[in-house]
Amino acid sequence: MSSENQHHGQSAPDAGPHPAGQTPGSQSSPAAGDAWHTVSGQSERTFVVSAGRPHEPNSPVNPPVDFTSTYTYRPSVEQPQVYAREGIPSFGPLEELIAGLEGGTRSAYFGSGMVAKDQEQPVEVQPALLFSSGLSAISAVLNLLPLGSHVILPKHSYMGFFTMAQQMAEKGMITLHRVDIAETEQVRTTLQDVSTLAQAQEAEVLLWIESPTNPMLEVADLPALTAEARRRSILTAVDNTFATPLRQRPLKHGTDIVVHSVTKFLSGHSDVIMGAAVTSDAELHRRLHAHRNLHGTIPGPMEVFLALRGVRTLAIRLDAAEKNAGQLAHRLEALAAEGTVPLRSVSYPGLSSHPQHERASAQLGGYGAIITIDTGSMQAADAVLENLRLWTPATSLGGVESLAERRRRHPGEPETVPEGLIRLSVGIEDAGDLFDDLLGALRTAAEILRENR
């Protein structure tokens, strides 16, 4: 393996138990294994509000927005800013905030200097890197791989990622190895086999993890898999979009790179397209930044402003949506047991019936705001979606509004995703109203199915 992966020999931090008096998925704080504070001693609820704000006297409370494509220069003066494609000052606050949440940096953005309030000397940081979309952040990570590399990936994952990886494989650029990411021993065996093959070929290997997965909500044993990958000098990347850094911090387990669709929970209002990548490794950061600059995949300044404004409420939004999701999941599971409506099963990591419920309870700081329901058929799912009044039938997730989508309407979804599966992105509306709307749509769907027999 190349010297770029030698840092993988470091041991990953261990995850600990939940704090005394807290239950897994409680709304007060993440699990103890992922517990963290910024260098200024702030909790995450405070950090999302306070980080990235200028602190000089007479400075604006909110960072300014830079609408420019280029910068003036003088030959006699060093020019840190040349062209907006390289990045603009408006990126700084949000990039530092996201990195701080993920634990990828040791300080937050404080106006003109990257210096934490309780530190006398500046500290080295690796800010996040903002991209024009989540898919462009994914592209930057895949672009790290030399020709002939191997990628181990979940059989269920974000469709855009899989489509991109599949196209690269069809062109002979990489070789794909799909696994059930929730089956730890299967993944370990694949890591061993692919590592042996790659060593013989002098090739690189990437382990790509989603946890929970999209849309099946499988939960990977993140500490075990990242530790095994590091032991074999395999690069690891985690798509942390579903969990968010408030519920899971992969870098703390030794992951090399974390990616986000900022479009989803971080921004939280379904009005921004943006992605981000975070790493603690300076060389990986340099290469990701070089890719962004060369390919021009930067977000616009207004999108950055909107995303920063959105992330300020991440903690309270996620708490509210997650609380709703827990209530809905339990009520829907009880409804499925009655057998009166087209509802075969309900999947949510917070349910004891979820195959990885215990793992999610130990590993995550909360169960998230995504539920899936299996209505049994495409016809049933479409009938449900046609008769929703409060839920919005739409793709995407993580906004304040509740969205519902039949995922197999997309040809790229694998056949292991049931035809009648509906992904529910739970918002912050009243949980009772959300349940009543689903119940009404399910009952109407049941009537339609009976009439069409």
Encode pLDDT of 116-145 as tens digits.
333 333 333 478 999 999 999 999 999 999
274 touches 241 (CB < 8 A): no
* 184 and 271 part of one domain: yes
SS (H, E, C) 412-453: CCCCCCCCCEEEEECCCCCHHHHHHHHHHHHHHHHHHHHHCC
Q: Which residues of the chain have pLDDT under 70?
A: 1-40, 104-125
CA distances from 230 to 219, 221, 234 (A): 20, 14, 6
User: Do the domain assignments include residue 9?
Assistant: no
* 330 and 443 part of one domain: yes
Q: Are strands 149-154 and 205-210 parallel, antiparallel or unpaired?
A: parallel
Number of domains in the chain: 2
State the residue range of the domain holding 418: 314-451
Model pTM score: 0.86
CA distances from 144 to 7, 134, 203, 324, 418 (A): 16, 16, 13, 39, 34
* 231 and 355 part of one domain: no
Q: Which pairs with CB-CB distance under 8 Å and at least 24 residues apart come from 3-9? A: 4/283, 4/284, 5/204, 5/233, 5/234, 5/235, 6/233, 7/281, 8/229, 8/230, 8/231, 8/232, 8/233, 8/234, 8/235, 8/256, 9/230, 9/231, 9/233
Distance CA 179, CA 185 (A): 10
* 219 and 163 part of one domain: yes
The confidence score (pLDDT) of residue 40 equals 52
> Final residue of a domain: which of 244, 270, 299?
299
Task: Single out the residue of 90, 85, 126 nearest to residue 108, CA to CA.
Answer: 126
> Final residue of a domain: which of 240, 275, 299?
299
User: Do the domain assignments include residue 113?
Assistant: no
The confidence score (pLDDT) of residue 104 equals 59
* 156 and 242 part of one domain: yes
> Final residue of a domain: which of 248, 266, 299?
299
User: Do the domain assignments include residue 116?
Assistant: no
